[in-house]
């Protein structure tokens, strides 16, 4: 297969129109369109046999679209900006070419730095490196806060080629002089938009000041806020820009809204769990306290649940994740801090106990199911107070959204569908169609409209 300078099959480059969650449009980065889809496998990348052995051990056969587009230019040494949803295989998209670069060259010095916003994501990347590169002799370490710094210092002194780090603890090592990043060849900013959301952008800028100026930089993000776009323009040099899909939720997931009164959420959750065939279930709440309380209530009811939130120590968080992965817990009740850091195969359902604040947050939450071309279900509980946040989600889902009203739980006219519809079965509607517009205007069926009070006034006057 012939590759051009960017490392992709010759085709055409066009601009892709994207609709943001707040309704505005922008022309996103150039996207490479192939004239013809050609079946590929990992042999097309000419990876070192030791790396290919790791690929085969992981059971990878056909590269995902982000891997097909990103791996060739990364292997050429180009800067890359990747816009891809979670669950598309982007971790391997940068890990494999970095392993290929580092397998030949000096050892026992830090040559690649991967920065991620959460401890879970850092561990996930560290694990992927160990699995894909286990026969290469390259070593990786995960660096984050909430645990003792001394074991990290000891491992760094022994000599490490790749560091997966959270910004705060990395700056701590830099200030202590316990890490030498003067030999960094590749910098990866993973989930850059979440780092911005969590307030890490100033830390990222401080870290970049300590890095060599001639390194290769890779930036991956699910969305592209203006602050991240500005950072990319400063640190990326003539980047190859690849985009897989768009900022809408993955097409492998079905979406259902359940109108419900707030005090009935727990009962609705248990009803769904009792009547739905599920695998591992991920439940999202808005607060740490609610995550803890819902998990305790479910566990007392015999569902086998545990909580994952920011108030837990690193060991407690790891125990919760391990228990969920190994099947000891069927249900994991988490806050958004874990939305992009949970990599558990086979999650069948994501249930939004609380509606996320933005459409992007919804995308990140439900990205935990329907991964690797498998299907999944996303259920969202919508109360009367959720009309604002749920509207932006309904807008991006459109006709894909189903409204399911269960008897005894329904909130009339607050879910965005026609308030005169009732029943047990899921009813699919265009969430931005006539019915939702009528609901927002306070429309009532003619038979239920209040009678005019004018005749009464006239009678009184008579």
Local confidence band at 285 (pLDDT 50, 70, 90 cut-offs)? very high
CA 421 vs CA 123, 192, 406: distances in Å: 47, 42, 11
- CB-count burial class (<10 Å; 0-12, 13-18, 19+) for 134: middle
In the chain, the percentage of residues whose pLDDT exceeds 70 is 76
DSSP string, 111-138: -EEEE-SSHHHHHHHHHHHHHHTTTTT-
Domain coordinates of the chain in residue numbers? Answer: 12-244, 253-441
Q: Which two tokens stand for residue 110?
A: 């830090």
Q: Are 378 and 394 contacting, i.e. CB atoms less than 8 angstroms apart?
A: no
DSSP letter (8 states) at residue 176: H
**Sign for the pseudo-dihedral over CA of 97, 372, 298, 356:** positive
Give the closest residue to 126 by CA, choosing from 163, 166, 178, 156.
163
Distance CA 440, CA 225 (A): 29
Helix axes 119-132, 49-57, angle to 10 degrees: 120
Q: What is the mean pLDDT of residues 148-177?
A: 96
Out of 15-24, 69-78, 272-281, 322-331, pick the least confident: 15-24
Model confidence over 7-43: pLDDT tens digits? 333 333 333 333 333 333 233 333 333 333 444 788 8
Q: Are 220 and 191 contacting, i.e. CB atoms less than 8 angstroms apart?
A: yes
Q: Are 187 and 211 contacting, i.e. CB atoms less than 8 angstroms apart?
A: yes
Cβ neighbors of 357 (< 8 A, separation 6 or more) are: 286, 389
Which CATH fold topology does 253-441 show? Answer: Rossmann fold (3.40.50)
Cβ neighbors of 452 (< 8 A, separation 6 or more) are: none
Helix (H, G, I), strand (E, B) or coil at 336: helix
Q: Which two tokens stand for residue 324?
A: 């969920």
Q: Are strands 162-165 and 112-115 parallel, antiparallel or unpaired?
A: parallel
Highest mean pLDDT (candidates 27-31, 141-145, 239-243): 141-145
Q: At 388, which helix (H) or strand (E)? A: helix 387-397
* The pLDDT value given to residue 387: 80
Q: Are strands 25-27 and 17-19 parallel, antiparallel or unpaired?
A: antiparallel
Out of 127-136, 170-179, 300-309, 395-404, pick the least confident: 395-404
Region 12-244: CATH code: 3.40.50.300
* Angle formed at CA 159 by CA 155 and CA 160, multiple of 5 degrees: 80
* The pLDDT value given to residue 21: 32
* The pLDDT value given to residue 99: 97
Q: Are 350 and 378 contacting, i.e. CB atoms less than 8 angstroms apart?
A: yes
* Angle formed at CA 401 by CA 395 and CA 407, multiple of 5 degrees: 120
pLDDT value at 441 more than 50: no
Q: Are 257 and 403 contacting, i.e. CB atoms less than 8 angstroms apart?
A: yes
* The pLDDT value given to residue 418: 40
Cβ neighbors of 51 (< 8 A, separation 6 or more) are: 96, 99, 100, 103, 132, 133, 135, 136
pLDDT value at 227 more than 60: yes
Distance CA 204, CA 196 (A): 9
Out of 98-112, 191-205, 260-274, 439-453, pick the least confident: 439-453
pLDDT value at 45 more than 80: yes
CA 308 vs CA 48, 91, 260: distances in Å: 39, 23, 24
Give the closest residue to 412 by CA, choosing from 450, 384, 391, 446.
384
Helix (H, G, I), strand (E, B) or coil at 31: strand
Model confidence over 413-426: pLDDT tens digits? 443 444 333 333 43
pLDDT value at 357 more than 90: no
Q: What are phi and psi of 257, to 5 degrees?
A: -100, 135
Q: Are 409 and 260 contacting, i.e. CB atoms less than 8 angstroms apart?
A: yes
Cβ neighbors of 321 (< 8 A, separation 6 or more) are: 120, 308, 332, 342, 344
12-244 and 253-441 agree in CATH topology: yes
């Amino acid at each position: 297969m012939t590759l051009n300078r960017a490392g992709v099959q010759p085709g055409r480059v066009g601009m892709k129109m994207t609709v943001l969650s707040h309704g505005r449009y922008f022309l996103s980065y150039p996207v490479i369109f192939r004239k013809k889809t050609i079946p590929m496998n990992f042999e097309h990348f000419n990876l070192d046999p030791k790396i290919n052995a790791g690929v085969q051990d992981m059971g990878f056969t056909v590269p995902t679209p982000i891997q097909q587009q990103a791996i060739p230019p990364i292997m050429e040494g180009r800067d890359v900006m990747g816009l891809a949803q979670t669950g598309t295989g982007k971790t391997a998209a940068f890990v494999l070419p970095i392993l290929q670069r580092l397998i030949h060259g000096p050892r026992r010095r830090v040559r690649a730095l991967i920065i991620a916003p959460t401890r879970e994501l850092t561990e996930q990347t560290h694990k992927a490196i160990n699995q894909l590169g286990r026969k290469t002799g390259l070593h990786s370490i995960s660096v984050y806060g909430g645990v003792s710094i001394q074991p990290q210092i000891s491992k760094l002194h022994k000599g490490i080629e790749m560091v997966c780090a959270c910004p705060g603890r990395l700056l701590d090592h830099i200030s202590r002089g316990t890490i030498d990043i003067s030999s960094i060849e590749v910098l990866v900013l993973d989930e850059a938009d979440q780092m911005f959301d969590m307030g890490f952008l100033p830390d990222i800028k401080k870290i970049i000041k300590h890095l060599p100026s001639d390194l290769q930089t890779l930036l991956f993000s699910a969305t592209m806020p203006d602050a991240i776009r500005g950072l990319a323009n400063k640190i990326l040099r003539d980047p190859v820009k690849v985009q897989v899909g768009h900022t809408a939720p993955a097409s492998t997931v079905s979406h259902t809204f359940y109108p419900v009164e707030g005090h009935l959420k727990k009962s609705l959750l248990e009803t769904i769990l009792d009547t739905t065939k599920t695998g591992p279930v991920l439940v999202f709440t808005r607060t740490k306290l609610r995550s803890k309380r819902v998990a305790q209530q479910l566990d007392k009811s015999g569902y086998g649940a545990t909580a994952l939130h920011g108030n837990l120590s690193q060991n407690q968080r790891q125990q919760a994740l391990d228990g969920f992965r190994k099947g000891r817990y069927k249900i994991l009740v988490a806050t958004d801090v874990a939305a992009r850091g949970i990599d558990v195969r086979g999650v069948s359902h994501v249930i939004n106990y609380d509606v996320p604040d933005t459409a992007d947050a919804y995308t990140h939450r439900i990205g935990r199911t329907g991964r690797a071309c498998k299907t999944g279900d996303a259920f969202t509980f919508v109360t009367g107070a959720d009309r604002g946040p749920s509207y932006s989600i309904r807008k991006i889902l459109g006709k894909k959204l189903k409204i399911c009203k269960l008897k005894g739980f329904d909130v009339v006219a607050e879910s965005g569908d026609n308030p005169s519809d009732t029943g047990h079965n899921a009813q699919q509607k265009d969430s931005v169609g006539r019915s939702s517009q009528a609901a927002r205007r306070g429309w009532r069926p003619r038979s239920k409209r209040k009678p005019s009070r004018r005749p009464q006034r006239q009678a009184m006057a008579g």
